[in-house]
Amino acid sequence: MSSKKPKFYVVWSGRVPGVYTSWDECREQVEGFPGARYKAFASRDEAEYAAADDPEEHIPPHRSADPAARSEAAASQASTPVAPGVRPVRMPSPEVLAKVGFQTLCVDAACSGNPGAMEYRGVFLAEGREIFHFGPVHGTNNIGEFLAIVHALALLDKQGTKMPIYSDSATAISWVRRKQCRTQLARTPRTEKLYEMIARAEAWLKAHRVTNPILKWETDQWGEIPADFGRK
């Protein structure tokens, strides 16, 4: 019999918001707490990114009623992250695919305004499929590009995969190599959670040896990167 897979529980509104590794810990924070907001995720990475995000991006407003009326199973049924793979992927030409290789992870960010509503995603080229997505939150495009690369690095590190990562942002690539997000975005209550994400990304870079190649996607030669949001 296979062992039960661990879950990670995000508490947005509860006695002590945060990420918890068991249902019992989560329940202590939300049971009997008015308007508790919480959700289970399959991995710590997903949970930590969700914890820094708006809960409305992950659960409908009517979810997370008092858990006295809900079970761990019910929480798990609501635990599917905002489904990656639903946004279209722009596949490059066969010639470009031959050059960059199929076993490649492409990342990109989009921002409506600067700053504005920012989101990012990662696309696995071999399957032409989006494998992660975050946002939108208030931020800048460069921050999104930076976080997308670190998200990809953390995901591939966890999987033990050394495939290359492509980004079309020279700025974000340089920030990752320096292990520092050198943004000028004002730190305000509105951007505080984003800054917390940046701090975690920088800490991850300082704690891990990066072995995945981080390469520049040559848009002028190859067209838009497959992770592009198509807003141009």
Counts for the chain of helices (H) and strands (E), in that order? 8, 8
Distance CA(157)–CA(17), nearest Å, equals: 27
Q: What is the pLDDT of residues 168-181, one digit of tens each?
A: 999 999 999 999 99
Q: pTM for the full model?
A: 0.66
Compute the average pLDDT of residues 27-54: 81
- pLDDT bin (cut points 50, 70, 90) of residue 196 is very high
**How confident is the model at residue 60, as a pLDDT?**
57
229 strand-pairing partners: none
Distance CA(44)–CA(8), nearest Å, equals: 6
Concatenate the DSSP letters of all residues of 116-180 into one string.
Answer: EEEEEEEEETTTTEEEEEEEEEEE-HHHHHHHHHHHHHHHHHHHT----EEES-HHHHHHHHHT-
Residue 72 has pLDDT above 90, yes or no: no
Cβ atoms of 214 and 165 within 8 Å: the answer is yes
Residue 59 has pLDDT above 80, yes or no: no
Q: What is the pLDDT of residues 206-226, one digit of tens each?
A: 999 999 999 999 999 999 999
CA dihedral 192, 194, 196, 202 (to 10 degrees): -140
The enclosing H or E element of 48 equals helix 44-51
Sign of CA dihedral 50, 54, 60, 66: positive
Between 133 and 78, where is the model more confident? 133
Work out the percent of the chain whose per-residue pLDDT is above 70.
84
Walk me through the domains of the chain, giving residue ranges and CATH numbers. Answer: 8-77 (3.40.970.10), 94-222 (3.30.420.10)
Residue 113 has pLDDT above 90, yes or no: no
Residue 67 has pLDDT above 90, yes or no: no
